[in-house]
Structure 1
Amino acid sequence: MSFTSRIAPRRRALAAAGTAVVLAVTLAACGSSKDSDSSMPGMDHGSKPSASSSSDMNHDHGSMPGMDHGGVDHGAMGDGLADAKDGYKLTSTATELPAGQDTAYKFQIAGPDGKPVTAFAADQTKKMHFYAVRSDLTGFQHVHPTMAEDGTWTADLSSLEPGTWRTYASFIPDSGAGKGQDFVLSRTVTVPGEAKKTPLPEASTTTEVDGYTVTVKGVLMAGMAHPTTVSISKDGKPVTDLQPYLDTYAHLTAFHEGDQAFAHLHPETKVDGDHGGPDLSFQAMLPKPGNWRMFLQFQTGGKLHTAALTLGVN
């Protein structure tokens, strides 16, 4: 299962395998933001993943009638599996990154004229969201890179386990032919060493992280919108102190098992202080059936938590 949504200026809609996707997310309680995203070095597929606070990335869009958030065009977009779209290209000389140590991934976004893009619009307070996930959907990291004057971005990644990783850059050009359009582009990179594949956990409607219980209510079917509620509790009691994080109370990304198709999911309602929760409501639609690994990021007491959950879409 999965879901998407937007905050102003928002930019995410999902289309996979040629199917245009829109995930309209209405958040019952919404939150604001913080500077760094979350990185989960070596996060496994257990039902009780732990998360650490850290960094960023994002996702691709086009123009979609009725889904304009703050002037940003959210429409027919790809699934984030290509390194180029509509003249924009994710370029990097890095084909291999070291295992077991913090490292930096450098890249540029080339525009239709072939030159590095240096003007980007902020989305959820950030001009670039960057994600890294291993092919078995472990090791999820979401960081916010920094850009040099020549348009070179540097994404600081925590220790990576051996295997094949896909890196995603999510951005909105602030000039040129793609101005105001939401993009998500990706490339793969190898981390040398003996790769030990972690089986994807079975689909489940609940998971735990840092003492919090996250529960998802709603049945999803591919290509159909369904109401979905995410509830957060702790010690059996509803959580009502969610803090703003990237202009929302919950940041969600999802990856499809097998091809790693990418979906960025956002609530729409504006945040109102440090008292979000416990229920977050969404209208969710995913374009293809199968298992989706969802990463839900939320903040309490100044700490960012990342919960992982496998959701099945019929």
Structure 2
Amino acid sequence: MSFASRFTLRRRALAAAGTAAVLALALAACGSSKDSSGSSMPGMDHSSMSSAPASSHSMDSMPGMDHGSMATGDGLADSKDGYQLASNTAELPTGKAGDYAFRIMGPDGKPVTGFAEDQTKRMHFYAIRSDLTGFQHLHPVMAADGTWTAGLAALEPGSWRIFASFIPDSGAGKGKDFVLSRTVTVPGAAKSTPLPAAASTAEVDGYTVTVKGELMAGMAHPMTVGISKDGKPVTDLQPYLDTYAHLTAFHTGDQAFAHLHPETKVSGDHGGPDLSFHAMLPKPGNWRMFLQFQTGGTLHTAALTLRVS
């Protein structure tokens, strides 16, 4: 074999060896990248966990709750993104009115005193018993030091969850919707009341409320609520909280919270009969819905159970 032929063969061998080495390195890098991404993203963002510390109270009251449920904003934690619902009240009186005092603590550890209005109020406060009865929706008063006081009507014995819904108007959480909650006990023999079966209609104070719309968990869907009386469509709804109806929902079993936002524009005291809502419910199952609307200066609260697929 000539010198030129031996030189050509040697050059091809070296080129092939180099290509193999580069390919081996590329494959090793791909394997390393896959391993690192798999360990850093096991279906959960670790940075989001560190930004939303949960107190021991919230964890004790939520056995089985995962960090994902906190991220959805279902209200089942007493702290989120550095904000905390703080209260020294763990028990409320049985069968008589009682005050619940609380503060919203900010990421700096100080009481928050600046809140933006949401549907004309700076704070929406809810109380619901574990069997989803005894619903109360209040608008507490805040003192100069950031202490809110909610005057609750008489409560029946059992475990109750209270929710605070608010929007800070300054600081790290400015403009963000927060819903935080804690549990309280009302002493006595608690009798659980079974919820009515899922239905699309409910009666209250002579009015019939009808819900239309197929709801699916985790997806936004349009929903229409129709209100009638004596078989005739109602057209004299009055504004309540800058809308014609306020709709709150609680999930059976864990009391997860959802506020369904109204879309019908307000135009005087002649709302109805059909009201549009933007419905987004995070979990499947039965939800207990509380629709509040006003006629003739009287506030009505209709309750019905809806099934979400």
- 1:198 has 2:196 as partner: no
Task: Tell me which residue corresponds to 1:142.
Answer: 137
Task: Tell me which residue corresponds to 2:125.
Answer: 130
Moved more, 289-298 or 275-284: 275-284
Kindly state the Cα deviation for residue 297 of structure 1 after the two structures are TM-superposed.
0.2
Over aligned residue pairs, what C-alpha RMSD do you find? 1.2
- Distance (whole Å) between structure 1 residues aligned to residue 109 and residue 276 of structure 2: 42
Deviation sequence 1:235-291 (CA, Å, 0-9, x none) = 000000000000000100000000000001121343100000001123423221100
- 1:118 has 2:113 as partner: yes
Quick check: 2:263–2:278 contact (8 Å CA) kept in 1? Answer: no
Task: Tell me which residue corresponds to 2:300.
Answer: 305
- 1:234 has 2:265 as partner: no
Q: Give the letter for the 1:306 counterpart.
A: T
- 1:156 has 2:151 as partner: yes
Moved more, 160-169 or 277-286: 277-286
Ranked by relative contact order (alpha carbons within 8 Å, sequence separation 6 or more), the top structure is 1
- 1:86 has 2:86 as partner: no
Q: Give the letter for the 2:134 counterpart.
A: G
Task: Tell me which residue corresponds to 1:296.
Answer: 291
Out of 157, 166, 169, the position equivalent to 1:171 is 166
- Distance (whole Å) between structure 2 residues aligned to residue 270 and residue 227 of structure 1: 15
Kindly state the Cα deviation for residue 213 of structure 1 after the two structures are TM-superposed.
0.3
- Distance (whole Å) between structure 1 residues aligned to residue 223 and residue 143 of structure 2: 40
- Distance (whole Å) between structure 2 residues aligned to residue 149 and residue 226 of structure 1: 41
Out of 234, 257, 282, the position equivalent to 1:262 is 257
- Distance (whole Å) between structure 1 residues aligned to residue 168 and residue 72 of structure 2: 15
Kindly state the Cα deviation for residue 186 of structure 1 after the two structures are TM-superposed.
0.1
Moved more, 277-286 or 112-121: 277-286
Task: Tell me which residue corresponds to 1:26.
Answer: none
Quick check: 2:260–2:280 contact (8 Å CA) kept in 1? Answer: no
Q: Map 1:64-83; keep pairs closer than 5 Å.
A: 77-83=72-78
- Distance (whole Å) between structure 1 residues aligned to residue 278 and residue 180 of structure 2: 25
Which structure shows the bigger proportion of residues in helix conformation? 2
- Distance (whole Å) between structure 1 residues aligned to residue 213 and residue 172 of structure 2: 39
- 1:246 has 2:241 as partner: yes
Moved more, 138-147 or 211-220: 211-220
- 1:187 has 2:182 as partner: yes
Moved more, 220-229 or 192-201: 220-229
Kindly state the Cα deviation for residue 222 of structure 1 after the two structures are TM-superposed.
1.6
Quick check: 2:93–2:187 contact (8 Å CA) kept in 1? Answer: yes
Out of 267, 282, 294, the position equivalent to 1:272 is 267
Task: Tell me which residue corresponds to 2:277.
Answer: 282
Kindly state the Cα deviation for residue 77 of structure 1 after the two structures are TM-superposed.
4.4
CA radius of gyration, larger in: 2
TM-score (norm 2): 0.76
- Distance (whole Å) between structure 2 residues aligned to residue 112 and residue 224 of structure 1: 31
Task: Tell me which residue corresponds to 2:209.
Answer: 214
Quick check: 1:243–1:274 contact (8 Å CA) kept in 2? Answer: yes
- Distance (whole Å) between structure 1 residues aligned to residue 275 and residue 263 of structure 2: 11
Task: Tell me which residue corresponds to 2:22.
Answer: none
- Distance (whole Å) between structure 2 residues aligned to residue 142 and residue 165 of structure 1: 13
TM-score (norm 1): 0.75
Moved more, 211-220 or 106-115: 211-220
Instruction: Classify 1:283/1:130 alpha carbon distance in 2 versus 1 (closer, same or farther; 3 Å).
Output: closer
- Distance (whole Å) between structure 1 residues aligned to residue 219 and residue 261 of structure 2: 18
Q: Percent identity?
A: 81
- Distance (whole Å) between structure 1 residues aligned to residue 294 and residue 98 of structure 2: 25
Quick check: 1:130–1:155 contact (8 Å CA) kept in 2? Answer: yes
